[in-house]
Structure 1
Amino acid sequence: MTRRTVRIAMNGVTGRMGHRQHLVRSILALREQGGLDLGNGETLWPEPVLVGRREPALRALAERHGLTEWSTDLDAVLADGTVDVYFDAQVTPARADAIRRAVAAGKHVYTEKPTAGDLAEALDLARLATGKGIKHGVVQDKLFLPGLRKLKRLIDGGFFGEVLSVRGEFGYWVFEGDWQEAQRPSWNYRAEDGGGIVVDMFPHWEYVLHELFGRVTSVSAHVATHVPRRWDEHGKPYEATAEDAAYGVFELEGGAVAQINSSWTVRVHRDELVEFQVDGTHGSAVAGLRGCRVQHRSATPKPVWNPDIPVTESFRDQWQEIPDNADFDNGFKAQWELFLRHVVLDEPYHWDLLAGARGVQLAELGLRSAAEGRRLEVPELTG
């Protein structure tokens, strides 16, 4: 078996998402399984080079995982001709500049979303990378979740007939930070630091809707800062300047309508932290992170509205669970594998910086829709 090493500069992996999902559960998991089998007797071996601003944190992270390469000098890492890929999981305001430098250095780029603070910059990054001839990709992890992969299976099999509507519920209660520690970093609630649930979640909803049901053609959104005062990681109070909840209506190419609520100020009364209900002429489904339940039209009961009579049936029990029928790996790791195969084997890959720009566009238009109180068209983007 021939080993082919790919060196990856990983910037921002001292943060929660970069560390847990990208370093530990993706790159280190690939190493634990012996690398990525490329076929024909060849294995890809990912070699991470940790990059960040805080030297003590980088050193501690490297020692914890038995890694030897780390640096606080991004330019020096990008100048290293043995580094093949640049990955970015920094806070949003720092991302575009770093990607631009990586593109200039000729590195393949894989990045978290949103790719930039506004659409113009996101499109510029996509065009720069394409013009440079490098491979580029954007994390779109929700597509690789078991629940949504089962939903995709239903769509591909024609289960729904004509899709009429999609209803999504996402969120949970994020503690304010005073009497219980917050589960999310304080910058998420400061607009000046790139925070806000629209910027965080609308890019997710764009690619989920686009990939599964059709391009988003219009958006109407309402946003709110329900909890205006929070406490940061040091116990210091601060004013939340970014929205913590967003309520969106998205029209889709083909006529279906999607309604998605996103909130960090909601207590969970559903089976999973995110769920999508899809209703079609032939059947319906409810998909979450892992599970997916369906009700075909042939098995749909005939409820009758009568508030004077107690309900005697369990509506949830009338749905059928979709079996796994496959082993589902971590979604972040699954997409990393596809991107790395794209880099070394030139296999097809379409979740690129242009796809990332569509997410930035939808977030930008969502915020504008909320500010102006009206529905906005979503123009189709081209490279």
Structure 2
Amino acid sequence: MNAAKRVGRGNDRERRDRIVQALEKLTQQMKNRGAELKELKKQGKKIVGYFPGGYFPEEIAYAAGAVPVALNRGGDHEPVEVSGAYMSRWIYTFGRANIGYRILGTEPIYNLIDIYIVPVTDNHVRIVADTWDVFTDMEIFRFGIPHTKHKWGVDYYLHGINSLKTKLEQLTGNKITDAKLKEAIDLSNKERELLTEISLSRKSARPPISTRDFIFLNHCSMVLDKKVTVPALQEIAASIRGKEGPETKRPRLLLTGTTLAYGDYRILDMIDAAGGMAVIEEFGEGVRHYWEKVNSNGDLMMALADRYYTRRVPPAWHRPGTERQELVVKLAREFNVKGVVWYQMMNRESDEFESYWYPDILKKQVGIPMLKLTSDYDSVERGPFSTRLETFVESIGR
């Protein structure tokens, strides 16, 4: 082996080591977040929990001097089971788990928040908010999300986040100034920019970072302080910039569906075990939507409404529904995927309805197949899911 190759391999090893160290550090910080929040509460900070549906402008909480954290845990069946005493089993899986973690007390964050912000997108999410309201002593703040992007819808959403602004000012005792709001917007935009850069690296035939690791980074950005996540993302982005991962012949897959929650990584592990490789994702809930930035010029509250409502690709059953279809097709093409795995939560009828349209859309427009999997976070799913994924991956890998 010549000297240049030895140096190159040495540099690659150092790069991988830096990424591993950054991920391990973030893993530890996620484990310690509960203790950290408890200490912040002692110092008088207000902890603002929010439902992770993509409609909560966390910049408002930062500008108020509060600490926003997503209640985004999922993947465990026990919280789903215990929720049966508090809500109908016909509420979708992630919604049932959301109250279940609070009841079990296994996730400290769920018992440390001072207020729970719930942007109401449908009846499932409304029931989540109502259940917290009835069975806990937590203050719940709801605001509605219109299902169509008309002018009145923008006005309605803007009214909702202005009411949220007033509420957080009352909660914290701090005035939200334009200067504080712009500072929070700029920091959040930097985080989005870094997530976008890291995400786009997966277009490579040899992605320098796995989708499992990327999703974990995404989830960290919804729980940890941005002054922690932004430097970590900068380090990882610098480590993979212009680099490639190991050679692979695994079929490339797009993962989409209802909710991809923190801890619900077995679907990614099963795709990997089946011989496939998820290279891009698109979900309505559970992950940060990072493609669009907030315009920090002009009226900042209107800019937040523009980013979080007008330009946000709507989830299932919201209109125009063509926006989500077009995004999935665009991502499938740009990331050169050979198939789509549709991963939905049990009883989320909006995704169930739309799941019947996508196989035809994908076949006609991209020429690729789709596999649908429906989860209740139950361990008995592993066998059937694995078998179906193996068959699917084998069929597209021929």
Q: Tell me the TM-score normalized by structure 1.
A: 0.25
Which of the two has greater helix per residue? 2
Q: Which has the larger radius of gyration?
A: 1
